Structure 1
Amino acid sequence: MKIILNIDKVFQELLLQEDIDQDKRITVEDKGPKKFHLASNGQEIVVEGTYFLSNLLQELILAGEQGNDYIDTEMIFEKPAERISRMIRDYFWDGLTRTMDEKGLENILTDSKSKAEKAIVYVPFTDHFAFEYYKKLASKFNLKVVQLPEKITPEYVRSINDEGGILSLALVEHNGEISGLPFVVPGGRFNEMYGWDSYFENIGLLLDGKLDLAKSMVDNFAYQIEHYGKILNANRSYYLTRTQPPFFSSMIREVFESMPDKDINWLQSKLEIAIKEYETVWMEKGKRLTDNGLNRYFAEGIGLPPETEQGHYDDLLKPYAQAANLSVADYEKEYYQRKIINKELDAYFVHDRSVRESGHDTSYRLEAICASLNVVELNAMLYKYETDFEELTTKYFKGSFMYNGFTYTPEYWKEKAEKRKHLMNRFLWNEDLKCFDDYNFETQKSINFLSATSFFPLWAGIATEEQAEKMVRYALPKLICLGGIAGCAPEALAHIGAEQMQRQWDYPNGWPPHQIIIWKGLCHYGYDDLAQELIYRWLWMITKNACEYNGTVPEKYDVVSASHKVFAEYGNQGTDFEYITREGFGWMNASFQYGLNHLTPNLRGELNKMTSPEDLF
């Protein structure tokens, strides 16, 4: 039912009565009456409770922006899970979409990470079209346009660390008009196209019918491989020597299989680029391929990563500063500027950058040893590349795919995958943990750290039925919390002192990619009921927090307390807004859409009633 209102007057009255802490939101922490009367045309509607009042606030904002003099009461009293899903589909994806063109540059160039006087766009040496395009826009946007050198070295990247410029992405020309292929950013302060975030965002985009946007995400990744040599951690200048967790074959496959009319030419071009990435980024020995035949993360670079917040490395630098009779700040500055050379720190920062390349920045699982590890999740992802290549070649290319003068057959890829599976079972299966575990190839030992990433082999189809049974029976319960799967088991942190800072990818925090991967993995092995339970726990937590905190959909959660109030470095993105969230957070949005799409009708009903998992499982 639509009711006519003086939108601005009702908005002000509602805030005055209910926004007691004046944070421009109505949350469970406001101690107002939690009861508001709407009067219109002789009718009175009573809105009670935090959730419905915050819905009213949001609908008043939207009505004002759209120039309406009415609101629809159905939207105020909308079922919680249905409202979150609708907001994601109809608003959040649009709020997170960017383009690197004249229409979209302002949204990107005003980013707080741009430290130089002028905003900077870096263009690959091989993209002259983009270089000329951005030069024409330079005066309009007070823009400095820099063409990257043909060979990008760690030394060059260090020389531009302080400038924080954005890296160009794909441009297309149609009917004489140039535009940038759109892409989705994670949200909050992450205003670039990030690596593995994009894969999980694509899962949500495809579910919400945004095929063209999902396809352009793949095309932008193809551009990065062609012009920067890798899929970047993000398209920011200081990420030029870092890649990201490899999900490209999954992205290609899922987008292609969603096309009503299968574009074989598109698939062929993207497979060629994916094979190029596989061979040049991951299978070059001595870098990301280790002597035992398995892979590691290995991000090149020199000195401190420039994107970290001030004080992040104080504890690490303190003993070196004391030995040099300098303050920590002065020591950090001189080391950053390479006036002080410290080989021990240089070695540490190889690991530190590699942690960031892994996407798990930061975790005690990887700290100070990342580049020495064959990590489970990376090798599972590359196994998925190999099996994807095998299956796509069989199904769409008649058993033969030629690229760069070499004929790739399904047998070729099957042999690669079988070899990797054998090596993973040899080096990464940990019978004590009853799970897969990261392997330190320097010490030749497992690290005995039970992590959510230990379950990626279920998603990739590597585990035997017997291994899967052991993992589900003995290992997985150690990660299950009120709100879903924690980043690691609490026992994995037994050696960490109480005074040490929590790492955001560890217990008690939970993250969307881990949830989705584990849900999918469980379903692959027939553990559908357990997958339903875990989906419910995660969606209940998201829904509960959105209901209590004005629609908040953040980056991560504390799954033990089932709260978005996370106490770890970097805080929690997606929580800073006024009146109404415009974006949520990219992969959290996707996890909600994916989970809701797979939840049984019965559990979906319980979710809308906000039934606690403790009452169901």
Structure 2
Amino acid sequence: MKYYVLLLALLILGCKNEVKKVPEKPIIETPPTELNIITTPDELLGELFAKIQLEQVFDDGKTFVDCIPKFPYDEIKRNYEQQKKDSTFNLKTFVYTNFEIPKAISSDFKSDATKTAAEHVTALWPVLKRDSDQENELSSLIPLPKSYIVPGGRFREVYYWDSYFTMLGLVESGEFELVENMLDNFTHLINTVGHIPNGNRTYYITRSQPPFFSQMVKLLAAFKGDSVYQKYKEPLKKEYEFWMDGAESTSYAINHVVLTPVGVLNRYYDKGDTPRQESYREDYTQVEKTSGGTKMYRDLRSGAESGWDYSSRWFADGKTIETIETTDILPVDLNALMYGLEDVLLTAFKDDSEFTTTLKKSMENRKEFLNRYSYNETLGVFEDYNWVTSEPTGVISLATVYPLFFKMTTQEQADRVATYITHNLLKPGGVVTSNNNTGQQWDAPNGWAPLQWMTIVGLENYGHHELAKIIATRWIALNEKVYANTGKFVEKYNVEDMTLDAGGGEYPVQDGFGWSNGVYLALKNQYEKD
């Protein structure tokens, strides 16, 4: 079998500058873990779940999957079957009778107008903090053993990639114990669920999010020393194995891996092929309208795994969600993040020569991918690559800065990225996610805290200090303006129209807000001294 795979790989390599277009294999089942015994709200409630979500009992579908039943699920279903036959039956009344409705986090927090923005953020940490969770078999919450920070608003649980950017602010506030607690929680999820889910909810277990765990470890190690790498070396390896599952055996695209002429690369891939439970009505309606089938469900879910839900990056026409094709794309940011994970693994497993040799080869492959397939020589930026059509997607976004953040590029490439940003993505409030006005929240006119940070650090890595400083100071000023007007830090901001507070998206603007707070503090402390 290994010989066959090697031979096929060599044949593929013979195709000049072309990624083999191949059908997907069936999904490989994951090894038995507690993932297999976690039951989700749709499984527990069946027909009732779909009815509640499709009839939009709550404006936001996430509200219902976060509800806690007041009675056992079987009892609720029996009551529903009996009561629905009554002509006076009201579904909303039934839901409110049988479920505890969750509250938004921090929305009712009263800010002190006498506090500066930085003081406000520091005061908000206790509001966003959750202590260790109590076991509740009726709740969709996956309990975590130690304290953690939630983003805020509708986001009542920990979120994977959000947490790295939140930690930047926690470090600035000296909250190292809380940072380590969150790393321990992620380790707990890796060891029980088998990976770090999108968030610690049962309905998120089919997917992860951008793999920033290694950067969290690196962040803590910078303050506590290299012993941190040893503490988390095994969970780091398990995280890597999750993202590389199938890499040794596949000649096709399977799970998160795709075999290409430059070796195995990664894509976003949710194992589910049904509507997202927290956005059930939206996904169901979308797929029914377009007859997109299970492939479209998986692409919608995988777009959520990317964290960029949604963006023109994932659309075949670069404009409309009806053409979403997330699983067909090799994303610049994901493969840069995997390079960063491999780099941290080199440090953690420096005495394992066999493993480190494998890691170094994979890192070389990712750099070759960037240069051979992803780099646009004409524009001087990095693009995502469609492995099915064997061509770049043509959508330019701030994903282009990820190779700079991880120091994967030449100085000339970094200089050209900086030039492109200056002329195309730099706006009055910072940098815009893309220049495509699609109505999606991860496009123009929105700016997001994590992308400001990735851009600024990436530029600084290659000596573009003045541009980095301009972006940082504009973003800081926008955050402070919104705070002065509203008393809040929000999830995302409109960086083009400075008269507005924030941008739009698939749900109302959320306040709190974890990663906005973290990035603001880190940038404020770094650039106000400059």
| TM-score bucket of the superposed structures, by smaller chain | 0.7 to 0.9
Asked if structure 1 preserves the Cα contact closer than 8 Å seen for 2:275 and 2:283, the reply is no
Q: Distance in 1 between matches of 2:111 and 2:171?
A: 26
Q: Alpha-carbon deviations, 1:32-65, whole Å to 9, x = none?
A: xxxxxxxxxxxxxxxxxxxxxxxxx855xxxxxx
Q: 1:85 matched to which residue of 2?
A: 118
Q: Distance in 2 between matches of 1:458 and 1:200?
A: 17
Name the CA shift for 1:210/1:598 in 2 (closer, same or farther; >3 Å): same
TM-score, length basis structure 1: 0.62
Shift of 1:263: 7.0
Q: 1:169 matched to which residue of 2?
A: 144
Paired AA for residue 130 in structure 2: R
Report whether the alignment pairs 1:97 with 2:48: no
Asked if structure 1 preserves the Cα contact closer than 8 Å seen for 2:491 and 2:516, the reply is yes
Shift of 1:483: 0.4
Q: Distance in 1 between matches of 2:111 and 2:418?
A: 42
Q: 2:308 matched to which residue of 1?
A: 360
What is the correspondence of 1:184-203 to structure 2 with a 5 Å cutoff? Answer: 184-203=149-168
Q: Distance in 1 between matches of 2:133 and 2:275?
A: 32
Q: Which one of 348, 354, 357 corresponds to residue 296 of structure 2?
A: 348
Percent of aligned positions with the same letter in both sequences? Answer: 32
What is the correspondence of 1:270-349 to structure 2 with a 5 Å cutoff? Answer: 270-285=232-247, 286-292=254-260, 293-308=264-279, 310-311=281-282, 314=285, 316-318=287-289, 344-349=292-297
Q: Which one of 516, 532, 554 corresponds to residue 469 of structure 2?
A: 532
Structure 1 runs not aligned, ≥5 long: 1-56, 60-74, 103-133, 135-142, 146-163, 171-180, 321-343, 394-398, 497-501, 575-583, 603-617
Shift of 1:284: 2.5
Q: Alpha-carbon deviations, 1:13-48, whole Å to 9, x = none?
A: xxxxxxxxxxxxxxxxxxxxxxxxxxxxxxxxxxxx
Shift of 1:312: 6.0
Name the CA shift for 1:203/1:442 in 2 (closer, same or farther; >3 Å): same
Report whether the alignment pairs 1:557 with 2:499: no
Deviates most, 370-379 or 301-310: 301-310
Shift of 1:207: 1.3
Asked if structure 2 preserves the Cα contact closer than 8 Å seen for 1:480 and 1:486, the reply is yes
Shift of 1:315: 5.2
Asked if structure 2 preserves the Cα contact closer than 8 Å seen for 1:433 and 1:448, the reply is no
Shift of 1:547: 1.0
Q: Distance in 1 between matches of 2:527 and 2:180?
A: 26
TM-score, length basis structure 2: 0.72
Q: Distance in 2 between matches of 1:309 and 1:538?
A: 34
Name the CA shift for 1:483/1:378 in 2 (closer, same or farther; >3 Å): same
Report whether the alignment pairs 1:573 with 2:501: no
**Secondary structure at 2:268's aligned position in 1?**
coil
Q: Which one of 336, 340, 346 corresponds to residue 380 of structure 1?
A: 336
Q: 1:588 matched to which residue of 2?
A: 516
Question: Greater relative contact order (Cα 8 A, min sep 6): structure 1 or 2?
Answer: 2
Q: Alpha-carbon deviations, 1:523-564, whole Å to 9, x = none?
A: 000001111000011010011111122x21100011111332
Shift of 1:378: 0.1
Q: Alpha-carbon deviations, 1:57-112, whole Å to 9, x = none?
A: 855xxxxxxxxxxxxxxx83x6xxxx1111212x111111112335xxxxxxxxxx
Asked if structure 1 preserves the Cα contact closer than 8 Å seen for 2:133 and 2:144, the reply is no
Q: 1:23 matched to which residue of 2?
A: none
Name the CA shift for 1:391/1:544 in 2 (closer, same or farther; >3 Å): same
Cα RMSD after superposing both structures: 2.1
Q: 1:459 matched to which residue of 2?
A: 405
Q: Distance in 1 between matches of 2:447 and 2:274?
A: 30
Q: 1:178 matched to which residue of 2?
A: none
Q: 1:18 matched to which residue of 2?
A: none
Q: Distance in 1 between matches of 2:385 and 2:226?
A: 41
Q: Distance in 2 between matches of 1:481 and 1:86?
A: 27
Residues matched between the structures, number: 403
Asked if structure 2 preserves the Cα contact closer than 8 Å seen for 1:556 and 1:564, the reply is no
Q: Which has the larger radius of gyration?
A: 1
Q: 2:172 matched to which residue of 1?
A: 207
Structure 2 runs not aligned, ≥5 long: 1-109, 248-253, 316-323
Name the CA shift for 1:572/1:223 in 2 (closer, same or farther; >3 Å): same
Shift of 1:273: 1.1
Shift of 1:415: 2.9
